[in-house]
Amino acid sequence: MHLIPLLFTVFIDTLGFGLVLPIFTPMIVGNETGIFSPDVSLAMRGLLFGVLVSSFCFGQFFGSPILGALSDRIGRKKILIISMWLGFGGYILAGFGIIYQSLLVLFAARMIGGVSSGSYAVAQSVISDISLDEDKTKNFGLVGMAWGVGFVIGPYLGGKLSAYGYTVPFAAAAFICLFNALLLVFMFQESLAKQVPSKISWFSGIYQIKKAFALPELRSIFLVMFIFSLGWGFFTEFSSVYLVRRLGFNVVQIGNFFAWVGFWIAVCQGILIRPIVKAFAPERLLPLALLGLGCFLPLLLLARGAVSLFWLLPLIGFSESLIFPTAATIVSNASSRHTQGEVLGIYNSVQWAAIAIPPLFSGALVALYPHLPVSVGSICMITGGVAFIWLYSRKRKLEDEEPQVVPIEEE
């Protein structure tokens, strides 16, 4: 199977999320484009910025289980192509939202973009379809590398191309979606061996959250990744506010910040972590990565300029690069082959629900207290690491205490 269009799909999913990070902060919180009149308070602009960021996450939350279940029913290839067309439409609509300075249009465009990015769960399902158990973590690392590259290019593209107008980055992203749709049509081979009918509803995301925590084999990892995603989403979505308010970063510098983080995530997931994930079980690596990330994030508060800040980012990128592939491997190994699309869709819904929650309630607070993305993010990472250690040690203890059935020998 040709993996280039699949990895390109993951790249586009992340590109869509990261593209706006250097644009929306000065545009809305900084009020550079006139969307708000000067008398609109900083707290109100921060609140609306958070809701706008959340709209993409909620699109992911609702779209991920639907696209995952549809891919189990009608095939991975068709859903991946449809998601690219949705992304194309969402980026075009976002451009019109900026031209006409309409927040409602921007909300709708970001929601559509989020639904399109639900294809990340489908991409993970493809990797699970084609991977042997011993290769899963390594291959999920390839997906993570594509995710990291998208995180590099997205903010960088947003920062650089916005110099020619805020609509230009969205036009470029729309063209990339169109190009990848053609790659999927001509280069991608279907990986689903047998189609499995599954119930599909627009409210699947809500139902799946309840279902996620009712699955005994997956409840612990879902809870840990929910806590992690609360912190990582909060840090990712609002760190640009910290950079603008505390360090005086402009659009280009914000783009460079996210690009540098994404570069190290991509390098680590694609190259550096491979011998590590091969030598250690995912259950051992995940808590170490969470605790390490929780300890490294607060160091950002000590930075007094771009140089000292950028020296710290490789540590953050390395720790983060271990989390997604190891967690995805744990989820995949605990699922049957026939439900990979549905379960990984549930897994992605859990993460995006967590990422969507903080911006709804904290935009105004972050605008007033810019250090919160770093502080809260660190607390969530450490909490998630401790929770994983406790939950999995408890699980192993219960398994060890289960009575063993000894067969009776016939005389």
Count Cβ neighbours within 10 Å for each residue of 35-69 and write b for 16 or more, e otherwise. Answer: bbeeeeeeeebbbbbbbbbbbbbbbbbbbbbbbbb
CA distances from 151 to 56, 145, 377 (A): 15, 10, 18
Average pLDDT over residues 217-245: 86
- pLDDT band for position 408 (cuts 50, 70, 90): very low
Position 407 pLDDT exceeds 50? no
Position 332 pLDDT exceeds 60? yes
Residue 358 lies in a domain: yes
Average pLDDT over residues 305-321: 86
CB within 8 Å of 321: residues ≥ 6 apart:
144, 148, 264, 265, 268, 269, 272, 273
Nearest alpha carbon to residue 122 among 343, 399, 308, 361: 343
3-state secondary structure of 193: coil
3-state secondary structure of 406: coil
Asked if 96 and 172 touch (Cβ cutoff 8 Å), the reply is no
For 236-290, the pLDDT digits (tens) are 878 888 888 888 887 778 878 877 887 887 788 778 887 887 788 888 899 999 9
Q: What is the C-alpha to C-alpha distance for residues 227 and 354, in angstroms, rounded to an integer? A: 7
Q: What domain count does the chain have? A: 1
Residue 410 lies in a domain: no
Q: Phi first, then psi: what are they for 335, rounded to 5°? A: -115, 155
Residue 411 lies in a domain: no
CATH number for the domain that contains residue 231 = 1.20.1250.20
Q: What is the C-alpha to C-alpha distance for residues 193 and 341, in angstroms, rounded to an integer? A: 12
Asked if 132 and 227 touch (Cβ cutoff 8 Å), the reply is no
Hey, how many other C-beta atoms are within 10 angstroms of the C-beta on 215? 16
Nearest alpha carbon to residue 268 among 202, 323, 348, 328: 323
The whole-number pLDDT of residue 387 equals 93
Q: What is the C-alpha to C-alpha distance for residues 217 and 235, in angstroms, rounded to an integer? A: 29
Position 62 pLDDT exceeds 60? yes
Q: What is the C-alpha to C-alpha distance for residues 24 and 346, in angstroms, rounded to an integer? A: 29
Question: Which two three-digit tokens encode residue 399?
Answer: 């398994």
For 5-59, the pLDDT digits (tens) are 888 888 887 777 777 767 777 777 765 555 677 777 777 887 887 788 788 878 8
Q: Map tokens 């991977």 to a residue.
A: 131
- pLDDT band for position 405 (cuts 50, 70, 90): very low
Stronger pLDDT, 349 or 370, i.e. the higher one:
370
Hey, how many other C-beta atoms are within 10 angstroms of the C-beta on 131? 17
Asked if 383 and 232 touch (Cβ cutoff 8 Å), the reply is no
For 78-102, the pLDDT digits (tens) are 999 999 999 999 999 999 998 888 8
3-state secondary structure of 215: coil
Least confident of 125-134, 167-176, 376-385: 125-134
Sign of CA dihedral 287, 292, 293, 295: positive
Residue 406 lies in a domain: no
Its domain, for residue 264, covers 4-191+201-400
Mean pLDDT over the full length of the chain = 80
**DSSP E strands, 161-313:** none
